[in-house]
């Protein structure tokens, strides 16, 4: 019984220590922010985003990989990926209003960006190169 009285406060204390902390409040905004959307079955920055991030590596450039369902389904998952990307960009633009974005997508990720760019109201797109976007017109 005494063990229970000791364990319960320890568990509550440990869970309070593990509570999420708002990172945005502690981070400064970079001048440029690379946002990459990976291709089918890729995770993280994938085959295109990894070397791109390495080539752009600088103290004033940050990188974000959009996490979405990269399975080989191209209707629901693309729309969901576009919504996730739009939400992320809106949040990031609000947190860092002077930050500029580099949007990158490979294969299915390029399709996600293609769909997402049609919704963008938070920024002006000066150039939008994509790789292997089957919906991009020549």
pTM, two decimals, is 0.70
Give the pLDDT of residue 12.
Answer: 45
Average pLDDT value for residue range 68-92: 93
Do 86 and 120 contact (CB within 8 A), yes or no?
yes
Superfamily of domain covering 29-117: Alpha/Beta hydrolase fold, catalytic domain (3.40.50.1820)
The ranges assigned to domains in the chain are 29-117
Average pLDDT value for residue range 74-83: 93
- List the beta bridge partners of residue 58: 61
CA distance 129 to 95: 25
CA distance 125 to 113: 12
């Amino acid at each position: 019984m005494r063990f229970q009285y000791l364990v319960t406060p320890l568990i509550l204390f440990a869970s309070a220590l593990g509570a999420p902390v708002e990172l945005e409040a502690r981070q400064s905004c970079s001048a440029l922010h690379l946002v990459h959307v990976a291709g089918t079955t890729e995770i993280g920055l994938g085959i295109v985003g990894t070397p791109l991030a390495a080539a752009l590596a600088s103290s004033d450039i940050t990188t974000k990989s959009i996490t979405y369902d990269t399975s080989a389904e191209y209707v629901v998952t693309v729309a969901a990926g576009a919504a996730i990307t739009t939400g992320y960009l809106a949040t990031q633009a609000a947190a860092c209003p002077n930050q500029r974005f580099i949007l990158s997508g490979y294969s299915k990720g390029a399709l996600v960006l293609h769909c997402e760019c049609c919704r963008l109201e938070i920024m002006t797109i000066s150039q939008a190169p994509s790789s292997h976007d089957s919906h991009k017109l020549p």
